[in-house]
Structure 1
Amino acid sequence: MFKIAYDPIYAHPLPEGHRFPMLKYELIPAQLLHEGVINRDNLFSPDVLSEDIILQTHDKDYWHQLRDLTLPLKEQRRIGFPLSARLVEREIRIARGTIDGCGFAFDNRIAFNVAGGTHHAGSNWGEGFCLLNDQAIAANWLLNNNLAQSILIVDLDVHQGNGTAQIFENEPRVFTFSMHGANNFPSRKETSDLDIPLPDGVGDDKFLDILYDTLPRLINQQKPDFIFYLSGVDILATDKLGKLALSKDACKARDTFVFEQCIANNLPVQVSMGGGYSPQIRDIVEAHCNTFKMAADLYF
């Protein structure tokens, strides 16, 4: 049985006018429960994350400005959300959920976080709705506790994982792979260990062909003992920010292939949901739920 990190605070940390991006975090587990894909035992509510673990990844001054709600307004605008104690609590619970998910992945081969994928947060900045980088924090936690020696981060969100790339730019034990829209946010890209920037309008066949060629080769070359997967659904043709043209079926095929590679190579994987900005919330929720369904079919 796979475990899924979810807490109600994921969905409701913001004033009324800012809540649309958060609705999916409430609707995804509700839909999975409704369809019988999961039951309540699959869900767990993460605790808050201790400061010492945060400081293994993020700079002290930046974290203290978040913690004390003193981040300059210019930096808050870069994040895109008004800073609040509940928003900061949300981020540290998400990061704790991803760390806890690593433990569950060792036990059950796979674990999920309904939120997470906050890959725009760098060591000393927040950006693009991301304050703390959950998968980077968890990767450093694995390394610092000698639970992994070689980690592969597979970021298939439509936006480059710029924060993740910056955090691990001098860490040879973590290989960062980002396949993303070349002309999409962020305008200033960092340098991942492997970046594959895609032109606008890339569709199903081209995207999947690149993934099918690249991921097995990376696993063979890097020989990771743990994988983090960021499964953003902003690659969909319906996404208002994505600029790519993938169908929901191709999104399912993407997830299936990543999971099949993890299974074939006996690699535990932690999955964070990442972005999704289609105008119709049902398109976002369906595509994210498909990721869970593919895992349920393959693993259990």
Structure 2
Amino acid sequence: MAPVYACSPRQLPVVYHPLYSQLVLPPAHRYPISKYQRLFAHLTEDLTLHQLSDTTSIAPLRVFTPTPVRVEWLKALHQPAYIDALIHNRLPAAKMRRIGFPWSQQLIDRTLMSSGGTLRTVELAHEFGIGIHLSGGYHHAHHDFGSGFCLVNDLALAAKHALTLDGIDTVMIVDCDVHHGDGTATLLADDPNIITFSVHCDKNFPARKPDSDIDLALPRATTTEDYLSAFGGILHLALAQHQPDLVLYDAGVDIHQDDELGYFDVCTQGVYKRDHLVLSHCRQAGIPVAAVIGGGYRSDHQLLVNLHAQLIHTALDVHGIMSSHRL
């Protein structure tokens, strides 16, 4: 079993890189590429930064800079021919359309860095009991193709990486993005040491939803109360039954009632309460959590910032990290 964390870190470990928003997309593209930079700017506004080797200290946060994932690690998870074609711009046009991005070297560099960031977040969670990635959650990438803005599956990759760390024998992926984690389910279907748990809208992307180990499919227009009631009960049972040594949490905010690709009726406070359910349950059980911010879709990218920032607020609250600053 992983160690029980009897005390909290003095600062909240957060992973970020400027590359996350450094991708030029066509006008009116649906993907909110600027939200990562906007979120980081929001978190650092009016705070003093101190460079500490590969980290930046922003009381009450400590921000870690990731390194790109190694290509051979991607080939161990995905089909090597797919990874080679993806990196070298040899994928057929139809497969790039399925991903939803035009190919560019920026896209590849960003993908490798973001995947490396999720791996780093797992390592920080293992060390400190909590780690948050200001990107991640690319759960629609399958073995030999990408889909739905996802080129490679950082959640599956990070879960397998977690199993190489001391004391980690079982990992649970708690995927609360409004869209089903189809790629994660297929990639990890034969791995008994990784439990996939997807909470999603039943009538939403993708059309085909392969079985996760645990699926909670909720109808369109699900309210805050119904969402929290259904999710809270299953989360409690899942953690008690499987007793994971680490939880990888996709905290997508596309469950919000105003999300343009979501279709749920969950309010802003409901998003906070959902995050609190996950982090507090794991905290009480001594289970480290590596969280990614996941999906969230608005034409005005700034409207996503406060929703994603709630994950930071929740982690500070649950882990008792005090701050005189308002994030």
Larger Rg: 2
Cα distance in 2 for residues equivalent to 1:289 and 1:87: 25
Contact 1:238–1:279 (Cα < 8 Å) also in 2: no
Is it true that 1:7 corresponds to 2:55 in the alignment?
Answer: no
The match for 1:203 among 215, 223, 229 is 223
| TM-score, scaled relative to structure 2 | 0.88
Is it true that 1:114 corresponds to 2:134 in the alignment?
Answer: yes
Is it true that 1:243 corresponds to 2:263 in the alignment?
Answer: yes
Number of the residue aligned with 2:151: 131
Q: How far apart are 1:176 and its partner, in Å?
A: 0.5
| TM-score, scaled relative to structure 1 | 0.95
Matching residue's letter, 2:307: A
- Runs of 5+ consecutive residues of structure 2 not aligned to the other structure: 1-10, 51-55, 322-327
Contact 1:37–1:296 (Cα < 8 Å) also in 2: no
Is it true that 1:88 corresponds to 2:108 in the alignment?
Answer: yes
Q: Deviations over 1:217-273 (max 9, x none)?
A: 101100100100000000011011101010000000000110001101111111111
Give the SS at the match of 1:3.
strand
- The within-5 A match list for 1:266-285 is 266-285=286-305
Is it true that 1:103 corresponds to 2:123 in the alignment?
Answer: yes
Larger relative contact order, structure 1 or 2 (CA cutoff 8 Å, min sep 6): 2
Cα distance in 1 for residues equivalent to 2:98 and 2:81: 17
Cα distance in 1 for residues equivalent to 2:47 and 2:214: 38
Contact 2:180–2:205 (Cα < 8 Å) also in 1: yes
Number of the residue aligned with 1:173: 193
Matching residue's letter, 2:65: S
Stretch deviating more after TM superposition (33-42 or 62-71): 33-42
Q: Deviations over 1:176-202 (max 9, x none)?
A: 000101010011111101111111100
Q: Closer, same or farther in 2 for the Cα pair 1:167/1:114, shift >3 Å?
A: same
Q: How far apart are 1:146 and its partner, in Å?
A: 5.6
Q: Deviations over 1:138-165 (max 9, x none)?
A: 1112224565211100000100000000
Structure 1 or 2: more helix by fraction: 1
Contact 2:30–2:299 (Cα < 8 Å) also in 1: no
Cα distance in 2 for residues equivalent to 1:91 and 1:19: 17
Give the SS at the match of 1:163.
helix
Contact 2:32–2:298 (Cα < 8 Å) also in 1: no
Q: Closer, same or farther in 2 for the Cα pair 1:169/1:46, shift >3 Å?
A: same
Give the SS at the match of 2:280.
helix
Q: How far apart are 1:279 and its partner, in Å?
A: 3.8
Deviating beyond 4 angstroms after TM superposition, the runs of 4 or more aligned structure 1 residues are 35-39, 144-147
| Percent of matched pairs sharing the same residue | 33
Cα distance in 1 for residues equivalent to 2:169 and 2:189: 16
Q: How far apart are 1:2 and its partner, in Å?
A: 2.1
Cα distance in 2 for residues equivalent to 1:127 and 1:38: 37
Count of aligned positions? 300
Q: Closer, same or farther in 2 for the Cα pair 1:297/1:126, shift >3 Å?
A: same
- Runs of 5+ consecutive residues of structure 1 not aligned to the other structure: none
Give the SS at the match of 1:195.
strand
Cα distance in 2 for residues equivalent to 1:4 and 1:56: 27
Matching residue's letter, 2:248: F
Stretch deviating more after TM superposition (153-162 or 12-21): 12-21
Number of the residue aligned with 1:141: 161
Contact 1:56–1:140 (Cα < 8 Å) also in 2: no
Q: Deviations over 1:115-143 (max 9, x none)?
A: 10000111211011000111111111222
Number of the residue aligned with 1:218: 238
Number of the residue aligned with 1:265: 285
Give the SS at the match of 1:56.
helix
Contact 1:53–1:141 (Cα < 8 Å) also in 2: no
Give the SS at the match of 2:77.
coil
Cα distance in 1 for residues equivalent to 2:104 and 2:300: 28
Q: Closer, same or farther in 2 for the Cα pair 1:207/1:91, shift >3 Å?
A: same
Cα distance in 2 for residues equivalent to 1:136 and 1:57: 8
Give the SS at the match of 2:42.
helix
Cα distance in 1 for residues equivalent to 2:38 and 2:231: 29
The match for 2:309 among 281, 284, 289 is 289
Give the SS at the match of 2:291.
strand
The match for 1:231 among 251, 256, 264 is 251
Cα distance in 1 for residues equivalent to 2:195 and 2:227: 21
Cα distance in 2 for residues equivalent to 1:79 and 1:245: 27
Give the SS at the match of 2:32.
helix
Contact 2:31–2:297 (Cα < 8 Å) also in 1: no
Q: How far apart are 1:37 and its partner, in Å?
A: 11
Contact 2:14–2:133 (Cα < 8 Å) also in 1: yes
Cα distance in 1 for residues equivalent to 2:273 and 2:192: 30
- CA RMSD in angstroms comes to 1.8
